Amino acid sequence: MLLAQILFVALLVTAITRFSRMVRKIRRNILLGRDERISGDRWQRWKNVLLLAFGQKKMFRNWIPAVLHLFVYLGFIIINIEIVEIILDGVLGTHRLFLPYLKGVYPVFISAFEVLAVLVIVACAVFLIRRNILHVKRFTQPEMTRWPRQDANNILIFEIILMLLFLTMNTSDQALQMHHAPHYVHTGRFLISYPLAQEFSHLSNGSLVALERGAWWLHIAGVLFFLNYLPYSKHFHILLAFPNTYYASLDPKSRMPVMESIVPEVRNMLGLPEEAASDGSSMPAHFGARDVFDLSWRHLLAAYSCTECGRCTAACPANLTGKKLSPRKIMMDTRDRLEEVGRNIDQHGQFVDDGKSLLNYISEEELRACTTCQACVEECPVSISPLAIILELRRYLVMEAAQTPQDWNAMFTSIENNGAPWAFPPDQRDQWTASL
Partner 1 sequence: MHIPTVAELQARGEQPELLYWVGCAASFDQRAQRTARALAKILTHAGIRFAILGQEESCTGDPARRAGNEFLFQLMALKNIQTLNQYQIQTIVTACPHCFNTLKNEYPDLGGRYTVWHHTQFIYRLIRDGKIKLKPISSEALQLVTYHDSCYLGRGNGIYDAPRDILQALQLKIVEMAHHRSRGMCCGAGGAQMWKEEEKGTTRVNIARTQEALDTGSRTLAAACPFCHTMLYDGVKYAGKEEEVEVKDIAEIVAEHLQ
First to last CA, the chain: 95
116 binds ligand SF4 (CB under 6 A): no
Which 3 state secondary structure label does DSSP give 296?
strand
Which 3 state secondary structure label does DSSP give 423?
coil
Q: Which does 340 bind (CB under 5 to 8 A by kind): ligand SF4, partner 1, none?
A: none
382 binds ligand SF4 (CB under 6 A): yes
Nearest one of 169, 179, 254, 152 to 220, comparing CA atoms? 169
Dist. CA 103–CA 96, nearest whole Å: 11
Region binding ligand SF4 by CB under 6 A among candidate stretches 47-55, 96-104, 322-330, 354-362? 322-330
Contact call for residues 110 and 187 (beta carbons, < 8 A):
yes
Output 219 or 328, the one with its CB closest to ligand SF4. Answer: 328
Q: Which does 254 bind (CB under 5 to 8 A by kind): partner 1, ligand SF4, none?
A: partner 1
Region of 308 on the Ramachandran plot (φ > 0 left; ψ -120 to 50 alpha; else beta): left
Which 3 state secondary structure label does DSSP give 257?
coil
Q: Which of 116, 292, 380, 393 binds ligand SF4 (CB under 6 A)?
A: 380
Q: Which of residues 149-168 bind ligand SF4 (CB under 6 A)?
A: none
Q: Which does 399 bind (CB under 5 to 8 A by kind): partner 1, ligand SF4, none?
A: partner 1
Report the nearest approach of partner 1 to the CB of residue 384 (Å): 15
75 binds ligand SF4 (CB under 6 A): no
Output 147 or 351, the one with its CB closest to ligand SF4. Answer: 147
Contact call for residues 374 and 387 (beta carbons, < 8 A):
yes
CA dihedral 321, 326, 327, 332 (to 10 degrees): 170
148 binds ligand SF4 (CB under 6 A): no
Residue 82, class by beta-carbon neighbours within 10 Å (0-12 exposed, 13-18 middle, 19+ buried)?
buried
Strand partners, 34: 296
Contacts of 411 (CB under 8 A, 6+ apart): 421
Q: Which does 386 bind (CB under 5 to 8 A by kind): partner 1, ligand SF4, none?
A: ligand SF4
Q: Which of 312, 338, 341, 358 binds ligand SF4 (CB under 6 A)?
A: 312
Q: Which of residues 329-368 bind ligand SF4 (CB under 6 A)?
A: 331
Q: Which does 382 bind (CB under 5 to 8 A by kind): partner 1, ligand SF4, none?
A: ligand SF4
Q: Is the Cα torsion angle 112, 114, 117, 118 positive or negative in sign?
A: negative
Q: Which does 422 bind (CB under 5 to 8 A by kind): partner 1, ligand SF4, none?
A: partner 1
Report the nearest approach of ligand SF4 to the CB of residue 218 (Å): 31
Contact footprint for partner 1 (CB under 8 A)? 61, 251-259, 262-263, 266-267, 269-270, 272, 287-288, 315, 317-318, 320-325, 365, 368-375, 377-378, 391, 394-399, 404-405, 407-408, 410-412, 415-416, 419-422, 424, 426-433, 435-436
Range 87-104 burial, b when 16+ CB lie within 10 A, else e: bebbeeeeebbbbeebee
Report the nearest approach of ligand SF4 to the CB of residue 317 (Å): 5
Which residues contribute to the site for ligand SF4 (CB under 6 A)?
A: 306-312, 315-318, 325, 327-328, 331, 370-376, 379-380, 382, 384, 386-387, 390
